[in-house]
């Protein structure tokens, strides 16, 4: 073989690989994987100012929330802070939303408490494994799987989690101790021991909730500031804005100061957070085994113990984060890359596990603070991350005096907006059947979270399959019967369509001709082809005709390839009716090329 031919062959075979490699290494592809490259070259001092203010505001919110969410997760308070800073740095490089902040959230903390038995080693390993699963989904572009969890299921889970988390903090709000964590037992024992309420904790908790509510209402009803306003007015506006934005930090600091004042007098009416491990977390590999008094628990046993949590935690983390990112992208008129978001949250959880973090996701509350603070880029997260690290290094000794009732107030006020009271009324008005997966998920999540989500998803899937197997059909009575499937036609629907046609056209006396209007049918499968062939035979036996109208090119190609006996296709409904009424001027479009419109012939030949 001539060498030139060999070289040409090698060039042709290597061409696709070279093109693929060039595509993967192109500036656009690199920018898609590192979104920081899109905005960093045009970064300005004005952006720096706005990002610094937003990062500081989020940090002052994140620190008290992290301490509080560690309580929800059943872990020592420092683990909330360990989980609050890694996402800030990872999202700086990989995030596609300028608003989103990654860190511990109420719902994720609740899931962690379910599946890790309040053991830090299990929580850290769950973060590592969840991150690996999320990374794999991002690399394989499997984000579409999240679309199979419907909005009613998500709303049902979120509402149940809100009730569970909120009621779970009543014991801390009232100063009750030794209350079980299982929801129904928690409700029973809380009411059983309500007489043991500590007055100090109850008063402080209610005062903190009232202060948080007042500050939130002030923030929501602040008038906009205008440049022409006097300097004093603008300064006072900025001061009030700062105080209301950092309300969590202010209220927790106020409660800690009150507790410290009592400590100095030698009397302490509050249950305090207590000792918090000082300093930054050590960098080490996640625990793949745990040594206990009864021996060593192997990695396999730990995975078996976490069970369904290995599916529920990463999926719900992705759902929450992507939903938050999409909501604020829509609100602020920009687009996000869902698969890139999967990579960002997956890498956050993997790297976080090396500094003893538990699984995190996008926080709606802190993202809202970030957006309202005027953040311009993900660089605001750097300020938040540094603030959390500084608090770990220098402020942990002060966390001792934070009353648990104050943290309970922070959690209750943070999760209260997550309960969507309008969704029930909306679904009742829009589509009442969607209340079924919502209620199933909502009720079963009080028993076990995974059962609630799984049952809700299954109910939604069954509803989807039922609509595919029993599509609605529009029937037009006249000299010729016209039947039009209102949606696609797939193999589960064939039997229902056959029964509909038989009952209306062949099981009446005398039998009637029928036109099947297929405008909405975009594809068919082999089972449908067989069913249509049997119908054509049934019509021929009865001495009447079955005609087809409005076939799209892919459907027409399949039916022509099947070579169905008696198959008649017409371009318009009028032609079909004329032919079936035996009127002149209408010829059936049998399996002839001139019966197919020119543009369809070209597609069929292609």
**329 lies in some domain:** yes
| Same domain membership, residue 493 and residue 383 | no
Mean pLDDT of 123-139: 95
Query: Computed from CA positions of residues 381, 386, 391, 393, in that sequence, does the dihedral angle turn out positive or negative?
Result: positive
pLDDT for position 595:
42
Q: What is the DSSP letter of 375?
A: -
pLDDT for position 183:
87
Mean pLDDT of 565-569: 90
Residue among 148, 89, 114, 595 nearest 383 (CA): 89
| Same domain membership, residue 103 and residue 64 | yes
Number of structural domains (the chain) is: 3
| Same domain membership, residue 574 and residue 457 | no
Higher-pLDDT residue of 305 and 605 is 305
- How far is the C-alpha of 581 from the C-alpha of 576, rounded, in Å? 9
| Same domain membership, residue 407 and residue 454 | no
Mean pLDDT of 39-63: 92
Structure tokens, 542: 């009865």
pTM comes to 0.77
Label residue 11 by pLDDT band (50, 70, 90): very low
The position carrying tokens 């829509």 is 330
| Same domain membership, residue 461 and residue 480 | no
| Same domain membership, residue 482 and residue 357 | no
**451 lies in some domain:** yes
**SS3 category, 114:** helix
- How far is the C-alpha of 385 from the C-alpha of 445, rounded, in Å? 33
pLDDT for position 154:
85
Quick one: CA torsion of 174, 177, 180, 183, rounded to 10 degrees?
Answer: 10
pLDDT at 44 exceeding the cut of 70? yes
Mean pLDDT of 63-81: 94
Mean pLDDT of 394-406: 93
Mean pLDDT of 457-486: 87
* Strand ranges, E, within 501-584: 514-517, 546-549, 569-570
| Same domain membership, residue 505 and residue 558 | yes
pLDDT for position 13:
45
Label residue 25 by pLDDT band (50, 70, 90): low
| Same domain membership, residue 264 and residue 369 | yes
pLDDT at 462 exceeding the cut of 50? yes
Label residue 80 by pLDDT band (50, 70, 90): very high
Residues 6+ apart with CB under 8 A from 134: 314, 317, 318, 342, 343, 345, 346, 349
Contact, 499 vs 483, CB < 8 A?
no
Mean pLDDT of 259-275: 92
Label residue 263 by pLDDT band (50, 70, 90): very high
Mean pLDDT of 423-439: 92
Summarize pLDDT for 378-392 with one digit per residue, the tens: 999 999 999 999 999
pLDDT at 402 exceeding the cut of 90? yes
Strands 514-517 vs 481-485: parallel, antiparallel or unpaired:
parallel
pLDDT for position 594:
42
pLDDT at 488 exceeding the cut of 80? no
Contact, 115 vs 381, CB < 8 A?
no
| Same domain membership, residue 531 and residue 461 | no
Find the DSSP H helices in 169-224: 170-174, 183-192, 199-220
Residues forming a β-bridge with 474: 484
Q: Flag the least confident range among 23-32, 55-64, 101-110, 574-583.
A: 23-32
**286 lies in some domain:** no
Structure tokens, 511: 């039998």
Label residue 243 by pLDDT band (50, 70, 90): confident
Contact, 134 vs 346, CB < 8 A?
yes
- In the chain, what percentage of residues exceed pLDDT 70? 92
**292 lies in some domain:** no
Mean pLDDT of 303-321: 92
Mean pLDDT of 282-310: 93
Residues 6+ apart with CB under 8 A from 572: 549
Structure tokens, 529: 């082809």
C-alpha of 460 from chain center: 16
Label residue 24 by pLDDT band (50, 70, 90): low
Q: CA of 308: how far to CAs of 187, 466, 468, in Å?
A: 25, 27, 30
Count other Cβ atoms within 10 Å, centred on residue 486.
9
**SS3 category, 141:** coil
| Same domain membership, residue 491 and residue 478 | yes
Reported as type and span, the H/E element at residue 473 is: strand 473-476
**148 lies in some domain:** yes
| Same domain membership, residue 444 and residue 478 | no
Residue 307 φ/ψ region, left for φ over 0, alpha for ψ in the -120 to 50 degree band, beta for the rest: left
Whole domain around residue 444: which residue ranges?
423-469
pLDDT at 421 exceeding the cut of 50? yes
pLDDT for position 450:
79
* Strand ranges, E, within 294-414: 295-297, 361-362
Structure tokens, 208: 């903190």
**151 lies in some domain:** yes
- In the chain, what percentage of residues exceed pLDDT 90? 55
pLDDT for position 39:
93
pLDDT for position 350:
97
| Same domain membership, residue 199 and residue 106 | yes
Residues forming a β-bridge with 103: 361
**22 lies in some domain:** no
**3 lies in some domain:** no
Mean pLDDT of 336-360: 94
- How far is the C-alpha of 316 from the C-alpha of 157, rounded, in Å? 10
Contact, 65 vs 104, CB < 8 A?
yes
């Amino acid at each position: 073989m001539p060498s030139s031919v060999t070289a040409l062959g090698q060039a042709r075979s290597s061409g696709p690989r070279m093109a693929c490699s060039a595509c993967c290494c192109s500036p656009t592809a690199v920018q898609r994987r590192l979104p920081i490259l899109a905005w960093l070259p045009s970064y300005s001092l004005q952006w720096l100012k706005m990002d610094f203010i937003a990062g500081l505001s989020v940090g002052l919110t994140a620190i008290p929330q992290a301490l509080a969410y560690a309580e929800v997760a059943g872990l020592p308070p420092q683990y909330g802070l360990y989980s609050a800073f890694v996402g800030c740095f990872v999202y700086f490089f990989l995030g596609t939303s300028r608003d989103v902040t990654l860190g511990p959230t109420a719902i994720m903390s609740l899931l962690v408490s379910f599946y890790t038995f309040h053991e830090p080693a299990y929580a850290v390993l769950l973060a590592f494994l969840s991150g690996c699963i999320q990374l794999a989904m991002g690399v394989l572009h499997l984000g579409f799987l999240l679309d199979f969890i419907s909005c009613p299921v998500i709303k049902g889970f979120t509402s149940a989690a809100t009730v569970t988390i909120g009621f779970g903090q009543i014991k801390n709000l009232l100063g009750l101790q030794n209350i079980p964590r299982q929801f129904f037992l928690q409700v029973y024992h809380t009411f059983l021991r309500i007489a043991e309420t500590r007055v100090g904790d109850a008063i402080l908790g209610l005062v903190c909730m009232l202060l948080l509510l007042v500050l939130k209402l002030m923030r929501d009803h602040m008038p906009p500031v205008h440049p022409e306003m006097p300097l004093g007015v603008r300064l006072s506006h900025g001061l009030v804005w700062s105080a209301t934005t950092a309300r969590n930090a202010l209220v927790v600091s106020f409660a800690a100061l009150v507790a410290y004042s009592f400590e100095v007098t030698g009397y302490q009416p509050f249950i305090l957070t207590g000792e918090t491990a000082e300093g930054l977390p050590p960098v080490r590999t996640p625990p793949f085994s745990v040594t206990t008094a009864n021996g060593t628990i192997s990695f396999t046993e730990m995975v078996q113990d976490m069970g369904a949590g290995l599916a529920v935690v990463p999926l719900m983390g992705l759902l929450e984060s992507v939903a938050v990112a999409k909501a604020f992208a829509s609100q602020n008129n920009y687009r996000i890359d869902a698969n890139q978001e999967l990579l960002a949250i997956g890498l956050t959880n993997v790297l976080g596990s090396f500094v003893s973090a538990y699984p995190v996701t996008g926080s709606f509350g802190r993202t809202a603070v970030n957006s309202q603070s005027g953040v311009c880029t993900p660089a605001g997260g750097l300020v938040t991350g540094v603030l959390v690290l500084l608090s770990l290094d220098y402020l942990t000794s002060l966390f001792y005096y934070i009353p648990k009732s104050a943290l309970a107030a922070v959690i209750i006020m943070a999760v209260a907006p997550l309960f969507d009271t309008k969704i029930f009324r909306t679904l009742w008005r829009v589509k009442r059947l969607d209340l079924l997966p919502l209620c199933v998920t909502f009720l079963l999540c009080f028993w076990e979270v995974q059962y609630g989500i799984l049952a809700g998803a299954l109910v939604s899937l069954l509803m989807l399959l039922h609509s595919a197997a029993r599509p609605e059909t529009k029937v037009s009575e006249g000299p010729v019967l016209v039947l039009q499937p209102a949606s696609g036609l797939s193999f589960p629907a064939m039997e229902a369509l056959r029964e509909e046609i038989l009952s209306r056209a062949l099981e009446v006396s005398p039998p009637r001709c029928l036109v099947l209007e297929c405008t909405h049918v975009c594809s068919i499968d082999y089972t449908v082809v067989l069913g249509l062939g049997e119908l054509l035979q049934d019509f021929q036996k009865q001495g009447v005709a079955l005609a087809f109208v409005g076939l799209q090119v892919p459907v027409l190609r399949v039916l022509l390839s099947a070579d169905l006996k008696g198959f008649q296709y017409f371009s318009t409904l009028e032609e079909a009716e004329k032919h079936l009424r035996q009127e002149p001027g209408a010829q059936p479009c049998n399996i002839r090329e001139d019966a197919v419109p020119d543009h369809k012939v070209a597609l069929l030949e292609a």
